[in-house]
Amino acid sequence: MEAHFKDIMAIKGVQGVILLDADGKVVFESVPSLRTEMRQRYTNWKKLIDTLGNIREADFVFDNGRVYLRQSENGYLIISMQSFASIAMVKLNCDILLPQLKYDKSKGLKALFRR
């Protein structure tokens, strides 16, 4: 599964990728730097998605990094990165990746990825 995100993860400065379904449930997560206690503490992605409304794309700048959010056909892709990461490259890779993500409800979440 991680192979699908390897191009995004390979961009210099990208810290991790989280894929949510439309209900804000984590479908896939690869954030090596994310501490376990933080991961356990923050489970309320739905609240964030609901608060943002029907968001198509968002870019959040922090003191020491950036979070890019992109709506996919069946959920949301969240990418965290350091300040120096190329946001244009992240967007380009999302453009390439998102059409490859298809969600087959009958097969459940395991069938989410298909090239």
Does the footprint of another protein cover residue 34 (CB under 8 A)? yes
Q: By C-alpha distance, which of 47, 50, 71 is closest to 59?
A: 71
Q: Does 11 bind another protein (CB under 8 A)?
A: yes
108 lies in the site for another protein, by CB under 8 A:
no
Residue 44: other Cβ atoms inside 10 A: 10
DSSP per residue over 69-94, as a string? EEEETTEEEEEEEETTS-HHHHHHHH
The whole-angstrom separation of Cα 50 and Cα 48 is 5
When binding is defined by CB under 8 A, the residue of 1, 23, 25, 60 that contacts another protein is 60
Helix (H) or strand (E) holding 57: strand 57-62
Q: Under the criterion CB under 8 A, does residue 33 sit at the interface with another protein? A: yes
**9 interacts with another protein by CB under 8 A:** no
Q: Which of residues 63-102 bind another protein (CB under 8 A)?
A: 63-67, 80, 82, 86-89, 91-93, 95-96
- Extract the tokens encoding 24: 């804000």
Contacts with another protein by CB under 8 A lie at 7, 10-12, 15-16, 31, 33-35, 38, 41-42, 47-48, 51-67, 80, 82, 86-89, 91-93, 95-96
